[in-house]
Amino acid sequence: MSSDTFSPLQLKIYAEERAYSFELLRRTYRERFNRELMPEQYADAFVPPADLVARIQSPEKAHPDCWFATSYQTILAYLGELSDHSVDILNCSSVLDFGCGLGRLSVHLQPLCSDVFACDIDDRVIAWAARTFPSIHFARSAFLPPLPYDDVSFDFVFGNSVFTHILYGHQEAWIAEIARITKPGGMAIMSVIDPNVQMSDWGFVAFDKSLVDEKYIEWSFDERTQNVNIYMTGKEQCRLWNRHFSVLEIRSHYNDQCHIVLRKI
């Protein structure tokens, strides 16, 4: 994406956030894991084309500074949550990035885990990611379960901005599927909509009137892609996930989605 698309202030912020977050990530890898970053984690050559980025997320993320800054911040959040619950990612032999998109987060696990798997529903996106990051095991998934993996395959499964786009009527099936492929005692972390961030412009009346049975709100449904935006109350999320997992916490993040942190029962 051309820099002409952004204001000078936006470019300045993206550049600052990329540099600052890069140092945080590099320090974390060195001090906590005794690892160094790979070129795939910081070189502009590994940023995907703008048309592919626009298929799955905000077009501004095609700018290298935005692409890397947001990926550093997000993966640091997942690693921090694992650490806070006494899980060392180095002991996770197999991990899955569920709904991986272009591998923006998957790539950061390569230096830490022996087997990194990733799946997404978009053929073109997966094809680019598989060519660009050949050491990651990419696969195409479908709109409905099952995923192409054996039972109890993964020590850690995470999904960034995935359950935020699954219809309420399909949530239980996907939760059961995540449980099927997660090892007993394994971890799962999924991002979910924070209404104070992603819905802050709604206003209380619109928000309250839109709640279905005081459980969830769906909006912007796309019939072709089956994509939807969905907010669920914390109570409802706990009710659904507790059938297969212990809900350890729902953690908020600055100007981003919340993460529901889970351990497989």
pLDDT (tens digit per residue) in 231-249: 999 999 999 999 999 999 9
Model pTM score: 0.96
Cis peptide before 146 (omega within 30 of 0): yes
Judged against a pLDDT cut of 90, whether residue 5 lies above it is answered with no
Instruction: Give residue 79's Cα distance to chain centre.
Output: 12
Model pLDDT for residues 39-73, shown as the tens digit of each residue: 999 999 999 999 999 999 999 999 999 999 999 99
Model pLDDT for residues 110-157, shown as the tens digit of each residue: 999 999 999 999 999 999 999 999 999 999 999 999 999 999 999 999
CB distance 206 to 217 below 8 Å: no
CA nearest 162: which of 88, 57, 92?
57
Would you place residue 1 in the very low, low, confident or very high pLDDT band (cuts 50, 70, 90)? Answer: low
- Total Cβ atoms within 10 A of residue 45: 8
Model pLDDT for residues 159-201, shown as the tens digit of each residue: 999 999 999 999 999 999 999 999 999 999 999 999 999 999 9
CA 209 vs CA 193, 212, 213, 234: distances in Å = 18, 8, 10, 18
